[in-house]
């Protein structure tokens, strides 16, 4: 995991931001536990992350989680999804509960070279 990098996208002229964060290996743990690992990795002494709820979703050719997370007093949406091509699990999150960029990415993201 140390060779992988998280990326953030921000809509120009707004505070809307989406982060794609590699957090674990597919099938090494259940997605709930991987999401908990993400919250532990992101938490600091001043900023605490936690899972409020999660529901299973269909994502591409496998299952994922759609979750509501809490960052201190703020809530936001995160998707925990595996990439079946490289067996990496990613948490894709936004900085707010309603972020059109996040929904666009979830609907359209696919591995390079994948056919429609």
CATH of the domain at 13: 3.40.1000.10
How many domains would you assign to the chain?
1
pTM score, whole prediction: 0.88
Sheet-wide strand order for 7-10: 7-10, 17-25, 88-94, 74-83, 62-71, 49-59
- pLDDT tens-place string over residues 37-67: 999 999 999 999 999 999 999 988 889 999 9
- pLDDT tens-place string over residues 62-113: 899 999 999 999 999 999 999 988 899 999 999 877 888 888 888 888 766 6
How much is the pLDDT for 114?
A: 66
Q: What angle do CA 34, 57, 107 make, to 5 degrees?
A: 105
Asked whether residue 1 is assigned to any structural domain, the reply reads no
């Amino acid at each position: 995991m140390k060779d992988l990098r998280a990326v953030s996208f921000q809509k120009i002229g707004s505070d809307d931001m989406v982060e794609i964060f590699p957090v674990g290996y597919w099938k090494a743990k259940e997605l709930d536990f991987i999401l908990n690992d993400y919250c532990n990795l992101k938490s600091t002494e001043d900023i605490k992350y936690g899972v409020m709820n999660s529901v299973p979703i269909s994502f591409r050719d496998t299952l994922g989680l759609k979750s509501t997370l809490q960052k201190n007093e703020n809530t936001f949406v995160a998707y925990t999804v595996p990439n079946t091509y490289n067996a990496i699990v990613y948490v894709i999150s936004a900085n707010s509960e309603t972020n059109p960029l996040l929904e666009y990415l979830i609907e359209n993201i696919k591995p390079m070279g994948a056919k429609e």
